Amino acid sequence: MESSVTIPPVPKDRPPLPGAGSNKGAVEGSGTWALSDRIGLAICWGLGLLFCALAIAIVVYLFIQGIKFLRPSMLVTPAAGGFTQTETGGFSDAFIGTLMVAAMGIAIALPVGVATAVWLVEYGRPAALARITESTIEAIAGIPSIVLALFGTVIFSSTALAFLSRSTEGVVFGRSFFAAAAMLSLVALPLIVASTREGLNAIPRHVREASYAVGKTKAATTRRILLPTAKPQIATGAMLGLGRIIGDTAIILVLLGATQNFTPVEGAPFPFNFLRGAGTTLTNFVYEASPTGNLNQPEKAYAAAFVLLLMVLILNAAVDIVHRRARKVGTWSS
């Protein structure tokens, strides 16, 4: 939209007559408005600029603090006990833990989410089940993650699932990367479903009909034509979900354990000893290292928060790039 809206005071060269903007195509300026309307517009500008200022302040402040306190060695040394901030090591375990949780969570959420969306858009029978599923996804999106976490403790400390975490003398610990990732996948699920549905709905009907007409089954059409076409939206959903997973703290706090190091389970083969054990992530580290946490090392908290923010910024940029590329390719001409 070509807009010539300005904040009051009005520039002098503007004609003060109604229907301001002598050039064709220009939008009506605010020069002719009543004072109350102009005050409203000023509030709009003020709040808009405030939002920008807040975002810039957060990024700049964390960059400054991050560059001041982050040492490359922190990313490779695990946390250690100590009295001063120089003795306590870094947060390599937290960093790797975040990557592990993100990979595992999205590995569960992506197939389930895409399959749910495919069912909703392409099949969706009986209609009652489709409606129930839709509200289930909405409800999962609305459930506080702390409640999901508590539910996770019930599931994963049942003896049937003891092989997913540590157990001593029949009492199942219930805290492990498996447990945390499984519950975190529920946090990412609604975003993936919503985004994939949007992608599938955007494909016009005749594309499907053309595929059926050459004798392809519905399953083959979905796999060979619909899902590849909806790939940008699926990727967007996955990245949004990833952002939620790495940003979540409550589930990690409850289901991954109150420790700052990996605590592998002895006797299990290689990847599983870590995955069954407790651990930590960057969000958990920031929480514990903040003045209200148990470690109270604000400098390290800033450094870890900086790394976390970088991850979020990269994900945001990736979403933007995917969006832009998808738009460049163009949509279906229906």
Partner 1 sequence: VEEELTPEYGPKWSDKRVELMLGALVCGLVGLLLAMIVTVFVRAWPSFAHNGLAWFGPGGNVDDQLNEIFLSGQAGAEYIYTFHAWPLIWSTILITGGAVLISLFCALFVAVFIVEFAPEWMSNILQPVVRFLASVPSVIYGLLGVLILVPLIGNHLVSEPQKASVAGIISLTGYSLLAAVLVLTMMIAPLMVSIFTDGLRSVKPGWLEGSLALGVNRWRTTWKIGVRSARPAIVAGTVLAVARAIGEAVMLAMISGSVGFAPNPADGLIFIYEPSRPLAPTIVKNIDQLTSKPGNATLFSIAAVLLFSAAFFSLTGYVARRSMRKYGSA
Site for partner 1 in 60-119 (CB under 8 A): 61-62, 112, 115-116, 118-119
Angstrom distances, CA of residue 191 to CA of 29, 140, 197, 225, 227: 39, 10, 10, 22, 17
Compute the distance between CA of residue 19 and CA of residue 36 in angstroms, rounded to an integer.
19
Give the C-alpha distances (Å, rounded to integers) separating 70 from 161, 244, 246, 308: 39, 24, 19, 12
Nearer to partner 1 among residue 70 and residue 246 (C-beta): 246
User: Cβ(94)–Cβ(284) under 8 Å?
Assistant: yes
Q: How many CB atoms are located within 10 Å of the residue 330 CB?
A: 7
Amino acid making up residue 153: T
Q: Does position 3 bind partner 1 by CB under 8 A?
A: yes
Instruction: Give 168's strand partners.
Output: 171
Size of the site for partner 1 (CB under 8 A): 90
**Range in contact with partner 1 (rule: CB under 8 A) among 35-43, 225-233, 261-269, 271-279:** 35-43
Among 103, 107, 312, 314, binds partner 1 (CB under 8 A): 312
- Binding part of the chain for partner 1, among 43-51, 76-84, 229-237, 265-273 by CB under 8 A, reads 43-51
Pick from 88, 229, 290, 297: which binds partner 1 (CB under 8 A)? 290
Asked if 280 contacts 256 with a C-beta cutoff of 8 angstroms, the reply is yes
Q: Between residues 169 and 267, which has the closer beta carbon with respect to partner 1?
A: 169
285, amino acid identity: F
- Selected from 8, 15, 26, 52, the binder of partner 1 by CB under 8 A is 52
Stretch that binds partner 1, among 76-84, 102-110, 263-271, 300-308 (CB under 8 A): 300-308
Helix, strand or coil for residue 322? helix
Interactions with partner 1, residue window 313-332 (CB under 8 A): 313, 315-316, 319-320
Q: CB of 122 within 8 A of CB of 196? A: no
Residue 144 interacts with partner 1 (CB under 8 A): yes or no:
yes
The one-letter amino acid at 192: I
The reply to whether 310 sits near partner 1 by the rule CB under 8 A is no
Binding region for partner 1 (CB under 8 A) out of 89-97, 139-147, 225-233, 326-334 = 139-147
Is residue 123 within the footprint of partner 1 (CB under 8 A)? yes
Tokens of 258: 């109150």
Q: Considering only 77-85, 121-129, 227-235, 260-268, which stretch makes contact with partner 1 by CB under 8 A?
A: 121-129
Nearer to partner 1, 80 or 147 (CB): 147
What are the residues whose beta carbons fall under 8 Å from the beta carbon of 28, sequence distance 6 or more?
A: 19, 20, 21
For the segment 217-236, give every residue that binds partner 1 (CB under 8 A).
217-220, 222-223
CB 91 within 8 A of CB 79: yes
- Name the DSSP letter for residue 166: -
**Distance in Å, CB of 301 to partner 1, minimum:** 6
In the complex, least distance from residue 17 CB atom to partner 1, rounded to whole angstroms: 14
Asked if 164 interacts with partner 1 (CB under 8 A), we say no
* Rounded Cα distance, 131 and 138, in Å: 11
- Interface pick for partner 1 out of 177, 248, 256, 263 (rule CB under 8 A): 248
